[in-house]
Structure 1
Amino acid sequence: MTEKNQTKAIQFALISVLLWSTVATAFKLALSDSTLSQLVVVSSVSSLIVLFVVYLFSKQKKSLLAIFRKTPLLYLILGNINPVLYYYVLFGAYERLPAQIAQSINYTWGIVLALLSIPILKQKFSKGDGIGLTLCYVGVIISITQFDFANLPDFDLIGLGLAFLSTLIWSSYWLLNKRTNAPAIESILICFICGTPALLLLAIYNWDAFNFTVTNVTAGIYIGLFEMSIAFVFWLKAMSYAIRTAQISSLIYMSPFLSLLFINWILKEPIYISTIIGLVVIVLGLFIQKRMNRHIK
Protein backbone atom coordinates (compact mmCIF):
# COMPACT_ATOMS: atom_id res chain seq x y z
CA MET A 1 0.00 0.00 0.00
CA THR A 2 1.27 3.47 -0.88
CA GLU A 3 2.27 5.59 2.11
CA LYS A 4 0.03 8.66 2.33
CA ASN A 5 1.78 11.97 1.70
CA GLN A 6 -0.32 15.03 0.87
CA THR A 7 2.68 17.06 -0.35
CA LYS A 8 3.59 14.37 -2.90
CA ALA A 9 -0.05 14.08 -3.87
CA ILE A 10 -0.25 17.81 -4.62
CA GLN A 11 3.02 17.69 -6.59
CA PHE A 12 1.84 14.82 -8.81
CA ALA A 13 -1.57 16.45 -9.25
CA LEU A 14 -0.07 19.78 -10.29
CA ILE A 15 2.16 18.05 -12.87
CA SER A 16 -0.93 16.31 -14.29
CA VAL A 17 -2.87 19.58 -14.40
CA LEU A 18 0.02 21.34 -16.15
CA LEU A 19 0.33 18.57 -18.75
CA TRP A 20 -3.42 18.48 -19.42
CA SER A 21 -3.35 22.26 -19.80
CA THR A 22 -1.07 21.99 -22.84
CA VAL A 23 -2.97 19.42 -24.87
CA ALA A 24 -5.54 21.73 -26.51
CA THR A 25 -2.61 23.65 -27.99
CA ALA A 26 -0.94 20.39 -29.04
CA PHE A 27 -4.18 19.28 -30.74
CA LYS A 28 -4.28 22.40 -32.91
CA LEU A 29 -0.56 22.24 -33.76
CA ALA A 30 -0.81 18.60 -34.80
CA LEU A 31 -3.96 19.20 -36.85
CA SER A 32 -2.36 22.09 -38.72
CA ASP A 33 -0.70 19.62 -41.11
CA SER A 34 -2.02 16.20 -40.08
CA THR A 35 -5.18 14.27 -40.90
CA LEU A 36 -7.53 13.13 -38.14
CA SER A 37 -6.71 9.50 -38.83
CA GLN A 38 -2.97 10.10 -38.67
CA LEU A 39 -3.21 11.96 -35.38
CA VAL A 40 -5.41 9.28 -33.81
CA VAL A 41 -2.98 6.54 -34.90
CA VAL A 42 0.26 8.30 -33.91
CA SER A 43 -1.00 9.51 -30.51
CA SER A 44 -2.69 6.21 -29.64
CA VAL A 45 0.32 4.07 -30.53
CA SER A 46 2.56 6.40 -28.52
CA SER A 47 0.24 6.11 -25.54
CA LEU A 48 0.04 2.32 -25.86
CA ILE A 49 3.83 2.05 -25.66
CA VAL A 50 4.04 4.31 -22.60
CA LEU A 51 1.21 2.51 -20.78
CA PHE A 52 2.81 -0.87 -21.50
CA VAL A 53 6.16 0.32 -20.09
CA VAL A 54 4.41 1.70 -16.99
CA TYR A 55 2.61 -1.63 -16.59
CA LEU A 56 5.86 -3.63 -16.91
CA PHE A 57 7.50 -1.63 -14.13
CA SER A 58 4.46 -1.72 -11.86
CA LYS A 59 5.14 -3.58 -8.61
CA GLN A 60 1.58 -4.80 -8.16
CA LYS A 61 0.58 -5.56 -11.74
CA LYS A 62 -2.20 -8.02 -12.50
CA SER A 63 -2.39 -10.38 -15.47
CA LEU A 64 -3.79 -8.57 -18.50
CA LEU A 65 -5.09 -11.80 -20.00
CA ALA A 66 -6.86 -12.80 -16.80
CA ILE A 67 -8.54 -9.39 -16.58
CA PHE A 68 -9.53 -9.46 -20.25
CA ARG A 69 -11.05 -12.94 -19.96
CA LYS A 70 -13.51 -11.75 -17.31
CA THR A 71 -15.27 -9.31 -19.68
CA PRO A 72 -13.81 -9.77 -23.20
CA LEU A 73 -16.74 -8.30 -25.15
CA LEU A 74 -16.86 -5.26 -22.89
CA TYR A 75 -13.15 -4.60 -23.41
CA LEU A 76 -13.49 -4.95 -27.18
CA ILE A 77 -16.23 -2.32 -27.09
CA LEU A 78 -14.25 -0.07 -24.75
CA GLY A 79 -11.10 -0.34 -26.89
CA ASN A 80 -12.94 0.91 -29.93
CA ILE A 81 -14.42 3.79 -27.95
CA ASN A 82 -11.13 4.86 -26.36
CA PRO A 83 -8.80 5.60 -28.06
CA VAL A 84 -10.37 5.20 -31.52
CA LEU A 85 -13.86 6.75 -31.60
CA TYR A 86 -13.45 9.30 -28.82
CA TYR A 87 -10.25 10.88 -30.09
CA TYR A 88 -11.41 10.81 -33.71
CA VAL A 89 -14.48 12.82 -32.68
CA LEU A 90 -12.56 15.09 -30.28
CA PHE A 91 -9.84 15.88 -32.82
CA GLY A 92 -12.56 16.54 -35.37
CA ALA A 93 -14.07 19.15 -33.06
CA TYR A 94 -10.69 20.85 -32.53
CA GLU A 95 -10.03 20.80 -36.27
CA ARG A 96 -13.22 22.79 -36.94
CA LEU A 97 -13.41 25.08 -33.90
CA PRO A 98 -11.20 27.58 -32.07
CA ALA A 99 -9.34 25.67 -29.35
CA GLN A 100 -10.95 27.71 -26.57
CA ILE A 101 -14.49 26.86 -27.75
CA ALA A 102 -13.82 23.13 -28.25
CA GLN A 103 -12.19 22.98 -24.82
CA SER A 104 -15.06 24.77 -23.08
CA ILE A 105 -17.64 22.34 -24.45
CA ASN A 106 -15.49 19.26 -23.85
CA TYR A 107 -14.96 20.30 -20.24
CA THR A 108 -18.65 19.70 -19.52
CA TRP A 109 -18.18 15.93 -19.81
CA GLY A 110 -18.23 15.75 -16.00
CA ILE A 111 -21.84 16.88 -15.81
CA VAL A 112 -22.78 14.57 -18.70
CA LEU A 113 -21.22 11.70 -16.73
CA ALA A 114 -23.33 12.59 -13.70
CA LEU A 115 -26.48 12.76 -15.80
CA LEU A 116 -25.83 9.45 -17.56
CA SER A 117 -25.27 7.86 -14.16
CA ILE A 118 -28.92 8.51 -13.34
CA PRO A 119 -30.46 5.99 -15.80
CA ILE A 120 -27.44 3.67 -16.07
CA LEU A 121 -26.42 3.44 -12.39
CA LYS A 122 -29.97 4.07 -11.14
CA GLN A 123 -28.97 7.23 -9.30
CA LYS A 124 -31.49 9.93 -8.44
CA PHE A 125 -31.52 13.32 -10.13
CA SER A 126 -30.47 15.63 -7.30
CA LYS A 127 -30.71 19.35 -6.72
CA GLY A 128 -26.94 19.48 -7.25
CA ASP A 129 -27.34 17.82 -10.65
CA GLY A 130 -29.95 20.37 -11.64
CA ILE A 131 -27.86 23.37 -10.59
CA GLY A 132 -24.72 21.91 -12.13
CA LEU A 133 -26.47 21.12 -15.42
CA THR A 134 -27.95 24.60 -15.64
CA LEU A 135 -24.71 26.42 -14.88
CA CYS A 136 -22.58 24.23 -17.18
CA TYR A 137 -24.75 24.83 -20.21
CA VAL A 138 -25.24 28.50 -19.40
CA GLY A 139 -21.44 28.65 -19.48
CA VAL A 140 -21.37 26.88 -22.84
CA ILE A 141 -23.97 29.29 -24.24
CA ILE A 142 -21.91 32.25 -23.02
CA SER A 143 -18.77 30.83 -24.69
CA ILE A 144 -20.49 30.11 -27.99
CA THR A 145 -22.62 33.27 -28.30
CA GLN A 146 -20.05 35.69 -26.83
CA PHE A 147 -23.04 37.58 -25.38
CA ASP A 148 -24.13 38.63 -28.88
CA PHE A 149 -27.47 36.89 -29.37
CA ALA A 150 -28.46 39.08 -32.32
CA ASN A 151 -25.37 38.24 -34.38
CA LEU A 152 -24.19 34.79 -33.39
CA PRO A 153 -20.51 33.98 -34.12
CA ASP A 154 -20.00 31.90 -37.25
CA PHE A 155 -18.73 28.71 -35.61
CA ASP A 156 -18.75 25.45 -37.55
CA LEU A 157 -21.98 23.63 -36.62
CA ILE A 158 -20.49 20.21 -37.31
CA GLY A 159 -17.58 21.12 -35.06
CA LEU A 160 -19.97 22.14 -32.28
CA GLY A 161 -21.87 18.89 -32.72
CA LEU A 162 -18.64 16.86 -32.52
CA ALA A 163 -17.58 18.71 -29.36
CA PHE A 164 -20.89 17.91 -27.64
CA LEU A 165 -20.73 14.32 -28.93
CA SER A 166 -17.25 13.92 -27.44
CA THR A 167 -18.63 14.61 -23.95
CA LEU A 168 -21.25 11.89 -24.42
CA ILE A 169 -18.71 9.36 -25.72
CA TRP A 170 -16.18 10.03 -22.95
CA SER A 171 -18.81 9.83 -20.21
CA SER A 172 -20.19 6.59 -21.65
CA TYR A 173 -16.68 5.13 -21.77
CA TRP A 174 -16.08 5.72 -18.06
CA LEU A 175 -19.48 4.38 -17.06
CA LEU A 176 -18.85 1.19 -19.05
CA ASN A 177 -15.30 0.98 -17.73
CA LYS A 178 -16.65 0.85 -14.17
CA ARG A 179 -18.16 -2.54 -14.96
CA THR A 180 -14.73 -4.09 -15.46
CA ASN A 181 -13.77 -3.67 -11.77
CA ALA A 182 -10.13 -3.79 -12.85
CA PRO A 183 -7.10 -1.71 -11.75
CA ALA A 184 -6.96 1.56 -13.67
CA ILE A 185 -3.63 1.09 -15.49
CA GLU A 186 -4.38 -2.49 -16.53
CA SER A 187 -7.87 -1.56 -17.64
CA ILE A 188 -6.91 1.35 -19.87
CA LEU A 189 -3.94 -0.61 -21.29
CA ILE A 190 -6.25 -3.47 -22.29
CA CYS A 191 -8.55 -0.92 -23.94
CA PHE A 192 -5.68 0.42 -26.04
CA ILE A 193 -4.60 -3.11 -26.99
CA CYS A 194 -8.18 -3.96 -28.01
CA GLY A 195 -8.31 -0.78 -30.08
CA THR A 196 -5.14 -1.67 -32.00
CA PRO A 197 -6.88 -3.61 -34.84
CA ALA A 198 -9.12 -0.61 -35.55
CA LEU A 199 -6.09 1.70 -35.46
CA LEU A 200 -4.30 -0.59 -37.91
CA LEU A 201 -7.25 -0.54 -40.29
CA LEU A 202 -7.44 3.24 -39.94
CA ALA A 203 -3.77 3.53 -40.86
CA ILE A 204 -4.00 1.16 -43.85
CA TYR A 205 -7.15 2.75 -45.25
CA ASN A 206 -5.85 6.32 -44.93
CA TRP A 207 -2.12 5.74 -45.49
CA ASP A 208 -1.99 7.71 -48.75
CA ALA A 209 -3.23 10.82 -46.92
CA PHE A 210 -0.68 10.53 -44.10
CA ASN A 211 1.88 13.33 -44.14
CA PHE A 212 4.66 12.87 -41.60
CA THR A 213 6.42 16.08 -40.59
CA VAL A 214 8.48 16.96 -37.55
CA THR A 215 5.67 19.16 -36.23
CA ASN A 216 2.76 16.76 -36.52
CA VAL A 217 4.69 13.65 -35.46
CA THR A 218 6.14 15.43 -32.41
CA ALA A 219 2.74 16.85 -31.50
CA GLY A 220 1.09 13.44 -31.99
CA ILE A 221 3.64 11.73 -29.74
CA TYR A 222 3.27 14.53 -27.20
CA ILE A 223 -0.51 14.04 -27.12
CA GLY A 224 -0.06 10.28 -26.71
CA LEU A 225 2.37 10.76 -23.86
CA PHE A 226 0.84 13.62 -21.94
CA GLU A 227 -2.89 13.62 -22.72
CA MET A 228 -3.52 9.90 -22.92
CA SER A 229 -0.99 8.31 -20.58
CA ILE A 230 1.59 10.06 -18.39
CA ALA A 231 -0.76 12.73 -17.02
CA PHE A 232 -3.29 9.98 -16.26
CA VAL A 233 -0.63 7.89 -14.47
CA PHE A 234 0.54 10.89 -12.43
CA TRP A 235 -3.05 11.68 -11.46
CA LEU A 236 -3.51 8.12 -10.20
CA LYS A 237 -0.27 8.50 -8.22
CA ALA A 238 -1.60 11.75 -6.75
CA MET A 239 -4.81 10.07 -5.63
CA SER A 240 -2.91 7.12 -4.14
CA TYR A 241 -0.75 9.49 -2.04
CA ALA A 242 -3.64 11.78 -1.09
CA ILE A 243 -4.78 12.15 2.49
CA ARG A 244 -7.48 14.66 1.51
CA THR A 245 -8.69 13.67 -1.97
CA ALA A 246 -11.09 16.63 -2.18
CA GLN A 247 -8.14 19.02 -2.07
CA ILE A 248 -6.43 17.12 -4.89
CA SER A 249 -9.59 16.86 -7.01
CA SER A 250 -10.15 20.62 -6.82
CA LEU A 251 -6.81 21.26 -8.54
CA ILE A 252 -8.23 19.96 -11.83
CA TYR A 253 -10.30 23.16 -12.09
CA MET A 254 -7.07 25.06 -12.82
CA SER A 255 -6.52 23.17 -16.08
CA PRO A 256 -8.86 24.98 -18.51
CA PHE A 257 -7.67 28.42 -17.40
CA LEU A 258 -3.99 27.49 -17.73
CA SER A 259 -4.87 26.04 -21.12
CA LEU A 260 -6.15 29.43 -22.28
CA LEU A 261 -2.71 30.89 -21.57
CA PHE A 262 -1.00 28.31 -23.79
CA ILE A 263 -3.64 28.76 -26.50
CA ASN A 264 -2.97 32.49 -26.49
CA TRP A 265 0.83 32.37 -26.16
CA ILE A 266 1.58 29.55 -28.59
CA LEU A 267 -1.35 29.49 -31.03
CA LYS A 268 -1.76 33.30 -30.91
CA GLU A 269 -5.51 32.73 -30.66
CA PRO A 270 -7.15 35.81 -29.09
CA ILE A 271 -9.00 34.80 -25.94
CA TYR A 272 -12.54 36.14 -25.68
CA ILE A 273 -13.72 37.58 -22.37
CA SER A 274 -16.86 35.50 -22.91
CA THR A 275 -14.76 32.32 -22.97
CA ILE A 276 -13.24 33.14 -19.58
CA ILE A 277 -16.65 33.98 -18.10
CA GLY A 278 -18.17 30.87 -19.68
CA LEU A 279 -15.43 28.65 -18.22
CA VAL A 280 -15.88 30.21 -14.78
CA VAL A 281 -19.60 29.40 -14.93
CA ILE A 282 -18.91 25.83 -16.17
CA VAL A 283 -16.35 25.19 -13.44
CA LEU A 284 -18.72 26.67 -10.84
CA GLY A 285 -21.46 24.33 -12.06
CA LEU A 286 -19.18 21.28 -11.82
CA PHE A 287 -17.96 22.33 -8.37
CA ILE A 288 -21.47 22.90 -7.00
CA GLN A 289 -22.73 19.62 -8.48
CA LYS A 290 -19.87 17.69 -6.91
CA ARG A 291 -20.12 19.54 -3.61
CA MET A 292 -23.86 19.07 -3.21
CA ASN A 293 -23.70 15.38 -4.20
CA ARG A 294 -20.72 14.41 -2.05
CA HIS A 295 -22.89 12.61 0.52
CA ILE A 296 -25.08 10.86 -2.06
CA LYS A 297 -24.25 7.17 -2.53
Structure 2
Amino acid sequence: MNRWLFLLFSIKLISADPTPVVLWHGMGDTCCMPYSLGLVKYFLEKQIPDVYVNSIRVGNSTIADLENSYFMNPNKQVQYVCDMLARDPNLQGGFNAIGFSQGSQFLRAVVQRCAHKLPPIKNLITLGGQHQGVYGLPHCGAIRHRSCDYVRKLLNYAAYYDWVQSSLVQATYWHDPLDEKTYKQKSEFLADINNEREINQTYIDNLNRLENLVLVKFDKDTIVQPRETEWFGFYAPGQAKKLLRLQETELYLQDRLGLKKMDEAGKLKFLSYPGNHLAFSQEWFISKIIKPYLIGTTEV
Protein backbone atom coordinates (compact mmCIF):
# COMPACT_ATOMS: atom_id res chain seq x y z
CA MET A 1 0.00 0.00 0.00
CA ASN A 2 2.77 2.40 -1.03
CA ARG A 3 0.37 5.26 -1.65
CA TRP A 4 0.11 5.67 2.12
CA LEU A 5 3.76 6.73 2.41
CA PHE A 6 2.63 10.34 2.03
CA LEU A 7 1.19 10.07 5.52
CA LEU A 8 4.62 10.30 7.13
CA PHE A 9 4.75 14.10 6.83
CA SER A 10 5.01 15.91 10.14
CA ILE A 11 2.25 18.55 10.07
CA LYS A 12 0.54 18.38 13.45
CA LEU A 13 -2.94 19.53 14.39
CA ILE A 14 -4.10 20.47 17.86
CA SER A 15 -7.36 19.26 19.34
CA ALA A 16 -8.27 19.35 23.02
CA ASP A 17 -9.83 16.08 24.19
CA PRO A 18 -10.03 14.64 20.66
CA THR A 19 -12.90 12.45 19.52
CA PRO A 20 -11.82 8.81 18.92
CA VAL A 21 -11.69 7.51 15.37
CA VAL A 22 -12.72 4.11 14.01
CA LEU A 23 -11.30 2.88 10.68
CA TRP A 24 -12.45 -0.01 8.47
CA HIS A 25 -10.27 -1.09 5.57
CA GLY A 26 -11.24 -2.31 2.13
CA MET A 27 -11.09 -5.51 0.12
CA GLY A 28 -7.79 -7.37 0.19
CA ASP A 29 -6.40 -5.04 2.83
CA THR A 30 -5.70 -5.31 6.55
CA CYS A 31 -6.26 -3.32 9.70
CA CYS A 32 -2.81 -2.97 11.07
CA MET A 33 0.15 -3.66 8.80
CA PRO A 34 2.61 -0.74 8.49
CA TYR A 35 2.06 -0.51 4.71
CA SER A 36 -1.73 -0.53 5.16
CA LEU A 37 -4.19 1.05 7.60
CA GLY A 38 -1.62 0.68 10.33
CA LEU A 39 0.11 3.62 8.68
CA VAL A 40 -3.12 5.61 8.59
CA LYS A 41 -3.63 4.90 12.30
CA TYR A 42 -0.10 6.09 13.03
CA PHE A 43 -0.64 9.22 10.93
CA LEU A 44 -3.84 10.18 12.74
CA GLU A 45 -2.17 9.66 16.11
CA LYS A 46 0.68 11.96 15.06
CA GLN A 47 -1.59 14.65 13.64
CA ILE A 48 -4.13 14.63 16.49
CA PRO A 49 -2.22 14.24 19.76
CA ASP A 50 -3.80 11.85 22.27
CA VAL A 51 -6.46 10.63 19.83
CA TYR A 52 -7.60 7.02 20.20
CA VAL A 53 -7.81 5.14 16.89
CA ASN A 54 -9.44 1.72 16.52
CA SER A 55 -8.53 0.17 13.18
CA ILE A 56 -11.00 -2.68 12.87
CA ARG A 57 -9.64 -6.20 12.61
CA VAL A 58 -12.19 -8.87 11.76
CA GLY A 59 -10.68 -12.11 13.00
CA ASN A 60 -7.85 -13.18 15.27
CA SER A 61 -4.95 -12.15 13.01
CA THR A 62 -4.11 -9.83 10.13
CA ILE A 63 -4.14 -12.82 7.77
CA ALA A 64 -7.65 -13.75 8.93
CA ASP A 65 -8.64 -10.10 8.55
CA LEU A 66 -7.47 -10.07 4.93
CA GLU A 67 -9.17 -13.37 4.11
CA ASN A 68 -12.40 -12.24 5.77
CA SER A 69 -12.49 -9.21 3.47
CA TYR A 70 -13.19 -11.72 0.68
CA PHE A 71 -14.99 -14.60 2.31
CA MET A 72 -16.81 -13.64 5.54
CA ASN A 73 -20.39 -12.57 4.84
CA PRO A 74 -20.79 -8.82 5.52
CA ASN A 75 -23.82 -9.39 7.71
CA LYS A 76 -21.63 -11.45 10.05
CA GLN A 77 -18.84 -8.90 9.81
CA VAL A 78 -21.15 -6.02 10.68
CA GLN A 79 -22.54 -7.81 13.74
CA TYR A 80 -18.99 -8.72 14.81
CA VAL A 81 -17.97 -5.07 14.58
CA CYS A 82 -21.11 -3.79 16.32
CA ASP A 83 -20.31 -6.05 19.27
CA MET A 84 -16.64 -5.03 19.21
CA LEU A 85 -17.39 -1.31 19.25
CA ALA A 86 -19.96 -1.67 22.01
CA ARG A 87 -17.32 -3.32 24.21
CA ASP A 88 -14.57 -0.78 23.54
CA PRO A 89 -14.27 1.41 26.69
CA ASN A 90 -12.38 4.08 24.75
CA LEU A 91 -15.39 4.83 22.54
CA GLN A 92 -18.00 5.41 25.22
CA GLY A 93 -18.09 9.17 24.71
CA GLY A 94 -18.72 8.83 20.98
CA PHE A 95 -16.52 8.55 17.91
CA ASN A 96 -15.99 9.40 14.26
CA ALA A 97 -15.79 6.65 11.64
CA ILE A 98 -13.87 6.42 8.36
CA GLY A 99 -14.52 3.67 5.82
CA PHE A 100 -12.05 2.87 3.06
CA SER A 101 -13.53 1.35 -0.12
CA GLN A 102 -15.85 -1.54 0.88
CA GLY A 103 -15.29 -0.62 4.51
CA SER A 104 -17.43 2.42 3.68
CA GLN A 105 -20.69 0.54 3.15
CA PHE A 106 -19.85 -1.85 5.98
CA LEU A 107 -19.48 1.04 8.44
CA ARG A 108 -22.68 2.54 7.08
CA ALA A 109 -24.38 -0.76 7.89
CA VAL A 110 -22.96 -0.54 11.43
CA VAL A 111 -24.55 2.90 11.76
CA GLN A 112 -27.91 1.80 10.35
CA ARG A 113 -28.18 -1.44 12.28
CA CYS A 114 -26.49 -0.60 15.56
CA ALA A 115 -26.22 3.17 16.18
CA HIS A 116 -29.08 3.07 18.70
CA LYS A 117 -27.07 0.54 20.73
CA LEU A 118 -23.68 2.28 20.46
CA PRO A 119 -22.15 5.49 21.78
CA PRO A 120 -22.86 8.45 19.46
CA ILE A 121 -21.33 8.11 16.00
CA LYS A 122 -20.68 11.71 15.05
CA ASN A 123 -19.38 11.78 11.49
CA LEU A 124 -19.23 8.91 9.00
CA ILE A 125 -16.66 9.54 6.27
CA THR A 126 -16.59 7.17 3.31
CA LEU A 127 -13.63 7.13 0.93
CA GLY A 128 -14.35 5.44 -2.38
CA GLY A 129 -17.33 3.48 -1.00
CA GLN A 130 -19.63 1.37 -3.16
CA HIS A 131 -22.94 2.60 -1.75
CA GLN A 132 -25.08 1.58 -4.72
CA GLY A 133 -22.92 -1.44 -5.41
CA VAL A 134 -20.64 -2.25 -8.32
CA TYR A 135 -21.12 -3.66 -11.78
CA GLY A 136 -17.64 -4.61 -12.86
CA LEU A 137 -14.49 -5.43 -10.92
CA PRO A 138 -11.44 -4.58 -13.07
CA HIS A 139 -9.01 -4.71 -10.17
CA CYS A 140 -9.40 -5.91 -6.61
CA GLY A 141 -7.45 -5.50 -3.44
CA ALA A 142 -4.74 -3.20 -2.21
CA ILE A 143 -2.58 -6.31 -1.86
CA ARG A 144 -2.06 -8.75 -4.74
CA HIS A 145 -3.88 -11.94 -3.88
CA ARG A 146 -4.72 -15.10 -5.81
CA SER A 147 -8.34 -14.75 -4.72
CA CYS A 148 -8.76 -11.74 -7.00
CA ASP A 149 -9.19 -13.65 -10.27
CA TYR A 150 -11.50 -16.13 -8.58
CA VAL A 151 -13.67 -13.27 -7.30
CA ARG A 152 -13.99 -11.67 -10.72
CA LYS A 153 -15.00 -14.92 -12.42
CA LEU A 154 -17.66 -15.76 -9.84
CA LEU A 155 -19.20 -12.29 -9.95
CA ASN A 156 -19.47 -12.31 -13.71
CA TYR A 157 -21.37 -15.59 -13.83
CA ALA A 158 -22.90 -16.45 -10.47
CA ALA A 159 -23.18 -13.40 -8.21
CA TYR A 160 -26.76 -14.13 -7.14
CA TYR A 161 -26.43 -17.85 -6.49
CA ASP A 162 -27.24 -18.44 -2.82
CA TRP A 163 -23.91 -20.11 -2.05
CA VAL A 164 -21.98 -17.26 -3.69
CA GLN A 165 -23.94 -14.64 -1.76
CA SER A 166 -23.23 -16.45 1.50
CA SER A 167 -19.52 -17.01 0.89
CA LEU A 168 -18.16 -14.21 -1.29
CA VAL A 169 -18.20 -10.70 0.14
CA GLN A 170 -18.13 -8.81 -3.16
CA ALA A 171 -21.17 -10.69 -4.45
CA THR A 172 -23.26 -9.10 -1.70
CA TYR A 173 -22.81 -5.64 -3.19
CA TRP A 174 -22.84 -6.71 -6.84
CA HIS A 175 -25.61 -4.67 -8.45
CA ASP A 176 -26.70 -5.78 -11.91
CA PRO A 177 -28.68 -2.91 -13.49
CA LEU A 178 -29.84 -5.27 -16.25
CA ASP A 179 -31.66 -7.43 -13.70
CA GLU A 180 -32.88 -5.24 -10.87
CA LYS A 181 -35.53 -7.75 -9.81
CA THR A 182 -33.01 -10.52 -9.13
CA TYR A 183 -30.64 -8.08 -7.44
CA LYS A 184 -33.33 -6.92 -5.01
CA GLN A 185 -34.46 -10.46 -4.29
CA LYS A 186 -31.05 -12.09 -3.95
CA SER A 187 -28.63 -9.45 -2.65
CA GLU A 188 -28.04 -10.54 0.96
CA PHE A 189 -26.43 -7.29 2.04
CA LEU A 190 -26.69 -4.22 -0.17
CA ALA A 191 -30.37 -4.44 -1.12
CA ASP A 192 -31.15 -4.72 2.58
CA ILE A 193 -29.06 -1.80 3.87
CA ASN A 194 -30.37 0.37 1.01
CA ASN A 195 -33.97 -0.42 2.01
CA GLU A 196 -34.74 -1.71 -1.48
CA ARG A 197 -37.00 -4.59 -0.45
CA GLU A 198 -38.88 -3.04 2.42
CA ILE A 199 -38.47 0.04 4.58
CA ASN A 200 -36.64 -0.50 7.84
CA GLN A 201 -37.31 2.70 9.78
CA THR A 202 -34.49 1.97 12.21
CA TYR A 203 -32.04 2.26 9.32
CA ILE A 204 -33.40 5.71 8.47
CA ASP A 205 -33.48 6.91 12.06
CA ASN A 206 -29.97 5.70 12.84
CA LEU A 207 -28.44 7.19 9.69
CA ASN A 208 -30.05 10.52 10.51
CA ARG A 209 -28.42 10.47 13.94
CA LEU A 210 -25.13 11.36 12.23
CA GLU A 211 -23.90 14.93 12.31
CA ASN A 212 -22.55 14.44 8.78
CA LEU A 213 -22.34 11.70 6.17
CA VAL A 214 -19.30 12.58 4.06
CA LEU A 215 -19.04 10.88 0.65
CA VAL A 216 -15.70 11.06 -1.15
CA LYS A 217 -15.55 10.18 -4.85
CA PHE A 218 -12.31 9.65 -6.79
CA ASP A 219 -12.74 11.22 -10.21
CA LYS A 220 -10.18 8.95 -11.90
CA ASP A 221 -11.10 5.75 -10.08
CA THR A 222 -10.21 2.68 -12.14
CA ILE A 223 -11.16 0.14 -9.46
CA VAL A 224 -14.78 0.98 -8.63
CA GLN A 225 -17.33 0.69 -11.46
CA PRO A 226 -19.22 2.91 -11.77
CA ARG A 227 -17.33 5.49 -9.74
CA GLU A 228 -20.60 7.42 -9.24
CA THR A 229 -21.59 4.78 -6.68
CA GLU A 230 -19.18 6.55 -4.33
CA TRP A 231 -21.74 9.40 -4.25
CA PHE A 232 -24.73 6.99 -4.23
CA GLY A 233 -25.20 7.36 -7.99
CA PHE A 234 -25.67 4.37 -10.30
CA TYR A 235 -26.80 3.19 -13.71
CA ALA A 236 -30.38 3.83 -14.67
CA PRO A 237 -32.30 0.54 -14.39
CA GLY A 238 -32.34 -1.73 -17.43
CA GLN A 239 -29.04 -0.71 -19.02
CA ALA A 240 -25.40 -0.07 -18.13
CA LYS A 241 -24.55 3.19 -19.90
CA LYS A 242 -26.68 6.04 -18.60
CA LEU A 243 -25.72 7.09 -15.10
CA LEU A 244 -28.01 8.73 -12.57
CA ARG A 245 -26.95 11.10 -9.84
CA LEU A 246 -28.17 10.24 -6.35
CA GLN A 247 -30.81 12.96 -6.61
CA GLU A 248 -32.27 11.23 -9.69
CA THR A 249 -32.52 7.76 -8.16
CA GLU A 250 -35.52 6.09 -6.54
CA LEU A 251 -33.44 5.76 -3.38
CA TYR A 252 -33.43 9.55 -3.08
CA LEU A 253 -36.77 10.47 -4.64
CA GLN A 254 -38.61 7.99 -2.43
CA ASP A 255 -36.25 8.86 0.45
CA ARG A 256 -35.84 5.20 1.31
CA LEU A 257 -32.84 5.92 3.57
CA GLY A 258 -33.58 9.48 4.62
CA LEU A 259 -30.79 10.77 2.38
CA LYS A 260 -33.03 13.47 0.92
CA LYS A 261 -33.82 14.66 4.42
CA MET A 262 -30.11 14.67 5.31
CA ASP A 263 -29.26 16.50 2.09
CA GLU A 264 -31.84 19.20 2.75
CA ALA A 265 -30.53 19.57 6.29
CA GLY A 266 -26.97 20.04 5.06
CA LYS A 267 -25.77 16.79 6.64
CA LEU A 268 -24.89 15.07 3.35
CA LYS A 269 -21.47 16.18 2.06
CA PHE A 270 -20.10 15.43 -1.42
CA LEU A 271 -16.33 15.67 -1.80
CA SER A 272 -14.20 14.62 -4.74
CA TYR A 273 -10.53 14.14 -5.42
CA PRO A 274 -8.93 14.19 -8.91
CA GLY A 275 -7.10 10.90 -8.50
CA ASN A 276 -7.38 7.13 -8.57
CA HIS A 277 -8.88 4.93 -5.86
CA LEU A 278 -7.78 6.14 -2.39
CA ALA A 279 -4.79 7.95 -3.94
CA PHE A 280 -5.28 11.32 -2.27
CA SER A 281 -2.67 13.75 -0.99
CA GLN A 282 -1.83 14.43 2.65
CA GLU A 283 -2.69 18.11 2.26
CA TRP A 284 -6.16 17.28 0.96
CA PHE A 285 -6.76 14.72 3.72
CA ILE A 286 -5.81 17.20 6.41
CA SER A 287 -7.77 20.16 5.03
CA LYS A 288 -10.89 18.30 3.84
CA ILE A 289 -11.22 15.47 6.36
CA ILE A 290 -9.20 15.94 9.53
CA LYS A 291 -9.80 19.63 10.16
CA PRO A 292 -13.55 19.90 9.52
CA TYR A 293 -14.71 16.46 10.67
CA LEU A 294 -12.18 14.98 13.09
CA ILE A 295 -11.11 18.02 15.09
CA GLY A 296 -13.72 20.61 14.04
CA THR A 297 -11.34 23.45 13.36
CA THR A 298 -9.73 25.26 10.45
CA GLU A 299 -6.59 26.13 12.37
CA VAL A 300 -3.26 24.30 12.10
TM over 0.5: no
Return the TM-score normalized by structure 2.
0.24
Which one has the largest radius of gyration?
1
Return the TM-score normalized by structure 1.
0.25
Higher strand share: 2
| Larger RCO (CA under 8 A, 6+ residues apart) | 1
